[in-house]
Amino acid sequence: MRLATVLRVLWSHWTYRPLQLFALLVGLSLATGLWTGVQAINTEARSSYKAASSTIVPNALDHLERSDGLPIALQTYVELQRAGWRTSPVLEGQVRAEDGRLVRVIGIDPVTMPEQMAELTTPGQPLQDDIASEPASNGLIAFLAPPHRIIISTDLAELQDERFKRAEWIESPNLPFNTLLADISFAERLLGQPGEISRLVLDPKQSRSRVQLSEIAPQLQRITNRSGADMARLTDSFHLNLSAFGMLAFAVGLFIVQGTINLAFEQRRTMCRTLRVTGTSMQVLTLALMLELLLIAVIAGGLGVVLGYFIAALLLPDVAATLRGLYGAQVSGDLDFHMGWWLAGLAIAVAGTFLAAFWSLTKLIRMPILAANRPRAWALMSSRSTWWRLIVSAGLMAIAGALLIWGTGLVSAFTIVGAFLLGSALLLPDAMVVSIRLFESLARRPVAQWFWADTRQQLPGLSLALMALLLALAANVGVSTMVGSFRLTFNGWLDQRLASELYVRAANDEQSVRLQNWLAKHPKVDAVLPIWSVDTRIGGEKGQVFGIADHATYRDHWPLLDKTASVWSDVAKGRAILVNEQFARRNRLNLGESVTIGEPATASSLSIAGIYSDYGNPHPQALIAVDLLTNLYPEVPRRRFAIRVAPQEASQLASQIGREFDLGGRALVDQASIKRRSVDVFERTFTVTQALNVLTLSVAGFAIFTSLLTQSAMRLPQLAPVWALGLTRRQLAGLELLRGILLAGLTMVLALPLGLGLAWLLLAVVNVEAFGWRLPMFVFARDWLMLGFYGLFATALAAAIPARRFSKTDPAELVKVFAHER
Residue type, 786: M
Nearer to another protein, 145 or 402 (CB): 145
Report the residue from 68, 183, 266, 736 that binds another protein according to the rule CB under 8 A.
Answer: 183
| Minimum distance of another protein from residue 536's CB (angstroms) | 29
Q: What is the DSSP code string of 97-147?
A: -TTS-EEEEEEE-TTT--HHHHH---SSS-HHHHHT-SSHHHHHHHHHSTT
d(CA 336, CA 317): 13
| Minimum distance of another protein from residue 88's CB (angstroms) | 9
Are 50 and 228 in contact, with CB atoms under 8 Å apart?
Answer: yes
Nearer to another protein, 172 or 533 (CB): 172
| Minimum distance of another protein from residue 50's CB (angstroms) | 21
User: Quick check: 184 binds another protein (CB under 8 A)?
Assistant: yes
DSSP secondary-structure letter at 198?
S
Q: Which of 686, 683, 661 is nearest to 514 (CA)?
A: 661
User: Quick check: 728 binds another protein (CB under 8 A)?
Assistant: no
Whether the bond between 147 and the residue before it is cis, its omega within 30 degrees of 0, is yes
Nearer to another protein, 137 or 648 (CB): 137
Which stretches of 507-610 are DSSP H helices?
509-521, 552-557, 567-572, 581-586
User: Quick check: 136 binds another protein (CB under 8 A)?
Assistant: yes
Tell me the pairing of strands 87-96 and 560-563: unpaired
Neighbour tally for 698: CB within 10 Å:
16
Stretch that binds another protein, among 183-191, 278-286, 413-421, 814-822 (CB under 8 A): 183-191
Nearer to another protein, 74 or 674 (CB): 74
User: Quick check: 145 binds another protein (CB under 8 A)?
Assistant: yes
| Minimum distance of another protein from residue 110's CB (angstroms) | 7
Tell me the pairing of strands 594-597 and 199-202: unpaired
Contact positions with another protein (CB under 8 A) in 189-208: 189, 194-195, 205-208
Stretch that binds another protein, among 3-11, 29-37, 188-196, 318-326 (CB under 8 A): 188-196
| Minimum distance of another protein from residue 80's CB (angstroms) | 9
| Minimum distance of another protein from residue 194's CB (angstroms) | 7
d(CA 400, CA 790): 31
d(CA 252, CA 706): 13
Report the residue from 166, 192, 209, 383 that binds another protein according to the rule CB under 8 A.
Answer: 209
| Minimum distance of another protein from residue 105's CB (angstroms) | 14
Report the residue from 11, 69, 123, 141 that binds another protein according to the rule CB under 8 A.
Answer: 141
Residues 6+ apart with CB under 8 A from 336: 44
Nearer to another protein, 136 or 565 (CB): 136
What 3-state DSSP class applies to 555? helix
Are 349 and 32 in contact, with CB atoms under 8 Å apart?
Answer: yes
Q: How many residues bind another protein (CB under 8 A)?
A: 43
Report the residue from 188, 570, 614, 670 that binds another protein according to the rule CB under 8 A.
Answer: 188
Nearer to another protein, 85 or 490 (CB): 85
CA-derived radius of gyration, the chain: 33
Nearer to another protein, 78 or 646 (CB): 78
Element (H, E) at 615: none
Q: Give the number of C-alpha atoms closer than 13 A to the C-alpha of residue 225, restricted to the C-beta side.
A: 19
Nearer to another protein, 80 or 699 (CB): 80
Contact positions with another protein (CB under 8 A) in 73-132: 74, 77-78, 81-84, 86, 109-113, 115, 118, 128-129, 131-132
Nearer to another protein, 145 or 786 (CB): 145
Are 209 and 170 in contact, with CB atoms under 8 Å apart?
Answer: no
Q: Which of 360, 359, 418, 428 is nearest to 390 (CA)?
A: 428
User: By the criterion CB under 8 A, which residues form the site for another protein?
Assistant: 74, 77-78, 81-84, 86, 109-113, 115, 118, 128-129, 131-132, 134-137, 139-141, 144-146, 183-186, 188-189, 194-195, 205-210
